[in-house]
Structure 1
Amino acid sequence: MLPKLELIAAACENMGIGINGDLPWRLKTEMAFFTRMTTDTKDKNKKNVVLMGRRTWDCIPEKYRPLQNRINMVLTSQSLDYGDKAITCKSIPHAIEVITDMQNQVERVWVIGGSSVYKSTMESPYFGRLYLTRIKKKFECDTFFPLIPSDFVLIKDPTVPQDIQEEKGIKFVYEVYEKR
């Protein structure tokens, strides 16, 4: 069975997701949510894939690469070799092929950025869900989350906190979308 791709992102009021190759905010609870969602598996013999574009990989501080306890995959048109840190793929369909070949090792596939990877995943037949943290504040950003398609609807996921969260005076809420 083909894996469904789940997107996870945090965006502020102007849908910004990054600035100068970094996050515009530092929210420990939100980062812990990202880590829990992308790492936890029901089957302890399996791992989740974190699928990202090359610029997203480059923006992860060296000491955190690869993201621990996850299979890191990088989409790039360049001929790059990250050794045992990450698997490189040329496209989303290529990544699906590689993941399908490893399906006995993989539980979930999380798309973690950037902007163009989010956009092409939401438009692809492999799209499953979008987990979007809405930061209730405006930040200066140079990278933005793409427009959410009009056929995406909000749903409830029991693993996701429902109420408004707050940290350092910044409010945020977790939203989960599926394609209607």
Structure 2
Amino acid sequence: SEGTKNEPFSPRTFRGLGNKGTLPWKCNSVDMKYLRSVTTYVDESKYEKLKWKRERYLRMEASQGGGDNTSGGDNTHGGDNADKLQNVVVMGRSSWESIPKQYKPLPNRINVVLSKTLTKEDVKEKVFIIDSIDDLLLLLKKLKYYKCFIIGGAQVYRECLSRNLIKQIYFTRINGAYPCDVFFPEFDESQFRVTSVSEV
């Protein structure tokens, strides 16, 4: 995130997210490894600083009427490393259901599924199930975690962007042209700048 920040961010040419309930392209092992590396990386020396920033932001959110009057949803979580500092990954129902069974829940991360229809009885894996972004904010106040990543789908991205909850965006460009019926939502691109570009 360091360096010059003078190039406007623009996702217009690579906004496709899905097609008919699945990835438009063949599952790319390199891309999946990159997702895993980004969403599992933790630097414990920076935890206290991140925690302080989050708490300050959540207090501001609560003072504006968000995050305090929620039920908490249907929650369950244990995980193999419940006491280890981890990142949170948040996804909608369709994104959760698109994950192959052998990879559920995403390992070494606190999995949160946002859905108004799923219950603990529907999801046997150890995850949190919540039904709103307000519930997410309430849950995050209770959890010890390093960073929170929103990993899909479009509706979850849209609501988080509209509430100014997204501070950094990771985009992966997939070479080729693919039919898509789900796209990353439009948003105020002037609020973001490209800070780094790398080959995956």
TM-score by length of 2: 0.67
Task: Please state how far the C-alpha of 1:127 moved relative to its aligned partner.
Answer: 2.2
| Aligned residue in 1 for 2:15 | 15
Q: Does 1:91 align with 2:126?
A: no
| Aligned residue in 2 for 1:113 | 152
CA contact (8 A) 1:13 1:138 kept: no
CA contact (8 A) 1:20 1:142 kept: yes
Name the one with the larger helix percent: 2
Q: Does 1:68 align with 2:68?
A: no
| Percent identity of equivalent pairs | 30
| Equivalent residues in 2 for 1:26-37, closer than 5 Å | 26-37=27-38
Assess, with a 3 A threshold, how the Cα gap between structure 1 residues 23 and 79 changes in structure 2: closer, same or farther. closer
Give distance in 1, aligned partners of 2:199 and 2:39: 21
Amino acid at match of 2:37: R
| Structure 2 residues without counterparts, runs of 5 or longer | 1-10, 45-82
| Aligned residue in 2 for 1:133 | 172
CA contact (8 A) 1:49 1:70 kept: yes
Assess, with a 3 A threshold, how the Cα gap between structure 1 residues 29 and 79 changes in structure 2: closer, same or farther. closer
CA contact (8 A) 2:104 2:125 kept: no
Give distance in 1, aligned partners of 2:17 and 2:125: 28
Q: Supply the RMSD in Å over aligned alpha carbons.
A: 2.2
Q: What is the count of residue pairs matched by the alignment? A: 149
TM-score by length of 1: 0.74
Assess, with a 3 A threshold, how the Cα gap between structure 1 residues 57 and 12 changes in structure 2: closer, same or farther. farther
